[in-house]
Amino acid sequence: MGYYNYADIDCRFMSIHHWMKWYKFGFTRTMDNLSLEIRNGRMTRDEALSILKKRKEKIPNNDIEEFCEFIGISKKEFFRICEKFRNKNIWSKNGSLWKINNFIIQDWNWI
């Protein structure tokens, strides 16, 4: 899911591509979309942050399940593979919880 409800509708698993940006770069499709809105002068940074705080980010579980079935792996295996791509330069682990240091939203719900 992103801010736009009309983008990437031609590919069933595009949400997984966008979800991997979270592991690799620390941002998601929604954040990417909102940054375009800011750069194009259609909203302010504060408006974009407000939208992010309200929407939160959701793991595209249905798409992941369907993708895993399509390629013949379990969700557990899928997330094990995803972890290989987590950027340790921006992520740090506290117990079992991964967080991005100095994240743009202080009270982010880390999942």
- Packed helices 29-39 and 14-25: angle between N→C axes, nearest 10 degrees: 80
Assess if residue 47 is contained within a domain. Answer: yes
Helix (H) or strand (E) holding 94: strand 91-94
Task: Tell me the pLDDT tens digit for each residue of 56-108.
Answer: 778 889 999 999 999 999 999 999 999 999 999 999 998 989 999 889 888 88
* Cβ atoms of 59 and 111 closer than 8 Å: yes
Assess if residue 76 is contained within a domain. Answer: yes
Domain count for the chain, please give it.
1
Assess if residue 109 is contained within a domain. Answer: no
β partners of residue 99 = 92
Banded pLDDT at 7 (limits 50, 70, 90)? low
Assess if residue 3 is contained within a domain. Answer: no
For the chain, counts of helices (H) and of strands (E): 5, 2
- Domain range for 31 is 14-100
Token reading at 68 = 């895993």
Assess if residue 95 is contained within a domain. Answer: yes
